[in-house]
């Protein structure tokens, strides 16, 4: 089994985290498969989706081994422990809760808490975050990343909110270690209509956008 450090490097190398937030759990795994077919292999199921915990458990057993599966919108240590036991390999939160970070450290899992201001970002890092999620990144955009990383270059930042195919290369060039993409990758209408090939193609475009921005 890969170590936490190896999984973290895998996440950083991949450059794209797909955030799957749906109204129903029925198509979560099929959506994840479509994303993976497009080359995005780091996938987050948010806890706002009904029965997401069951789907994490199912996906952990059935998804290919190259998929790094995580749980998002984790707000408290109780939920954190539940998703880890269900099979989540990384945990993401929109806010900063030190007890969530502590729980992830206890189980040696990657933790990505949310923060916005420089003080929140540094506090999350000092509490033990592996990556700090800047949310909502749409407020400051790529320029904000450049400004924050000037005095805090040691912190790994990932944007969520406002990430699309246009801003992805801009965030990467501004210093983001990767991007997290929700609705601009996982189109709910496409999922509802079974147009999974559209999601696969969009995933490919995000992978290429990151590679191009990194000069690969």
Query: How many CA atoms, within 13 angstroms, populate the side-chain half-sphere of residue 100?
Result: 26
> 10: part of which helix (H) or strand (E)?
helix 4-14
Sequence-distant (≥ 6) Cβ neighbours of residue 193 within 8 angstroms: none
Query: In the block, which residue shows the tokens 């994490």?
Result: 56
Tell me the helix, strand and coil percentages in the chain, rounded to 5: 50, 15, 35
CB 140 within 8 A of CB 130: no
CB 110 within 8 A of CB 70: yes
CA distance 35 to 104: 26
Catalytic residue numbers? 44, 133
CA distance 90 to 9: 12
> 169: part of which helix (H) or strand (E)?
helix 167-173
Partners of 18 in the β-ladder: 43, 181
DSSP 3-state assignment of 130?
Answer: coil
């Amino acid at each position: 089994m890969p170590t936490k450090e190896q999984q973290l490097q895998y996440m950083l190398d991949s450059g794209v985290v797909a955030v799957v937030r749906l109204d129903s759990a029925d198509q979560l795994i099929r959506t994840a498969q479509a994303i993976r077919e497009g080359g995005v292999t780091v996938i987050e199921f948010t806890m706002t989706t009904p029965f997401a915990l069951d789907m994490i458990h199912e996906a952990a057993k059935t998804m290919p081994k190259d998929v790094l599966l995580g749980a998002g919108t984790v707000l408290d240590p109780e939920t954190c422990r539940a998703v880890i036991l269900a099979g989540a390999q990384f945990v993401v939160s929109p806010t900063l809760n030190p007890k969530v970070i502590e729980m992830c450290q206890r189980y040696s899992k990657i933790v990505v808490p949310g923060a916005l201001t420089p003080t929140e970002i540094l506090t999350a890092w000092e509490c033990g975050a592996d990556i700090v999620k800047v949310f909502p990144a749409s407020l400051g955009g790529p320029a904000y990343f450049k400004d924050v990383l000037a005095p805090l270059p040691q912190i790994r930042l990932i944007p969520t909110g406002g990430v699309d195919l246009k801003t992805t290369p801009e965030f990467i060039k501004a210093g983001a270690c990767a991007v997290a993409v929700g609705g601009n990758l996982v189109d709910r209408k496409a999922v509802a209509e079974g147009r999974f090939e559209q999601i696969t193609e969009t995933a490919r475009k995000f992978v290429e956008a990151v590679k191009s921005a990194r000069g690969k």
